[in-house]
Amino acid sequence: MGGREANVVLLDENGIRSDGRKVNETRKVTIKAGVLKNANGSAYIEFGGNKILAGVFGPRDVHPKHMSNPDTGILRVRYHMEPFSVGERKKPAPSRREIEISKVIKEALEPAVMLENFPRTAVDVFLEVLQADGGTRCAALDAASVALADAGIPMRDIVCACAAGKAGDALILDVNNEEDQAGQADMPIGYMPNLGKITLLQLDGVLTPDEYKKCIELGLEGCKQVYEIQKNALREKYFSSSDNN
């Protein structure tokens, strides 16, 4: 949440948001699986104005070796924003924010990936944000799940993610950059629909207990919509006749 500037009109008198969406509408989401030849699995997502590439490698040997675990595989996630991905050039060095987002995405994916099948190995997930427009951690998590599945790594479920929040005093689905900066709350959610488990839940801003519950319900609706798009991306790669690579 940024300055919460009072002058920005985030919701008009008809309940329409500044980018033309209704309060319960996500931005357009498109996902393509298997876009990188040299990765074991990959995906490209456009989530509104966000453009993110995910590349997965492994299970593979761990270097340095002392980081490996004889009982299970480990998951490593690097979320990185390109300097040109935002209006004001981002310094190339990893920021505290990128380290935090890498950590929360890793923790959101871990319950889904059957790492216990691959002791002493690592699965590496690289997430490159080419263009950012609010909600990159959710979009990156969506792409990471598809890339992991594309790599053939056994998973309990696909993790789907979408944020809900509050702007213009209304609860809204899929918070864009402007709403994130000037709105009242942003709540990214990661969810495994088949298992009914939430694996990512953050809240930046202020909500009443009632709004908090409604925001989760709204966010889960968005997650479920993204889930269908993720499955379609995988179907398209594996069940269509066209050559994807």
Residues that bind ligand UDP (CB under 6 A): 86, 90, 97, 132-137, 177, 180
The smaller minimum CB distance to ligand UDP, of residues 122 and 174, is found at: 174
Smallest gap from residue 213 Cβ to ligand UDP (A):
22
Range list of β-strands (E), 2-158: 29-33, 41-47, 50-61, 74-81, 121-131
- Between 66 and 91, name the residue whose CB sits nearer to ligand UDP: 91
CA distances from 69 to 56, 58, 59, 60 (A): 19, 15, 13, 13
Within a 10 A sphere around the Cβ of 125, how many other Cβ atoms? 30
Question: Please, what is the minimum distance in Å from the beta carbon of residue 204 to ligand UDP?
Answer: 7
CB of 85 to ligand UDP, least distance (A): 8
Shortest Cβ distance from residue 162 to ligand UDP (Å)? 11
The Cα–Cα gap between 127 and 138 comes to 12
The type of residue at 78 is: R
Min dist CB 128 to ligand UDP, Å, is: 14
Query: Which is nearer to ligand UDP, 40 or 136 (by Cβ)?
Result: 136
At closest approach, how far in Å is the CB of 137 from ligand UDP? Answer: 3
Residue environment code for 192-206, b if the CB has 16+ CB neighbours within 10 A, otherwise e = bbeeeebbbebbbbe
Confirm if 176 and 19 have CB atoms less than 8 A apart. Answer: yes
Token pair, residue 70, equals 């004889």
Rounded Cα gap, residues 107 and 202, in angstroms? 12
Nearer to ligand UDP among residue 73 and residue 135 (C-beta):
135
Report DSSP state, residue 135: -
Max CA separation in the chain (angstroms): 60
- Our CB check for ligand UDP shows the closer of 35 and 203 to be 203
Q: Cβ atoms within 10 A of the Cβ of 86, count?
A: 15
Cβ proximity to ligand UDP: between 133 and 157 the closer is 133
Cβ atoms of 229 and 143 within 8 Å: the answer is no
Pairwise CA distance, residues 218 & 86, whole Å: 28
- Smallest gap from Cβ 163 to ligand UDP, in A, equals 7
Which of 86, 236 has the CB closer to ligand UDP?
86
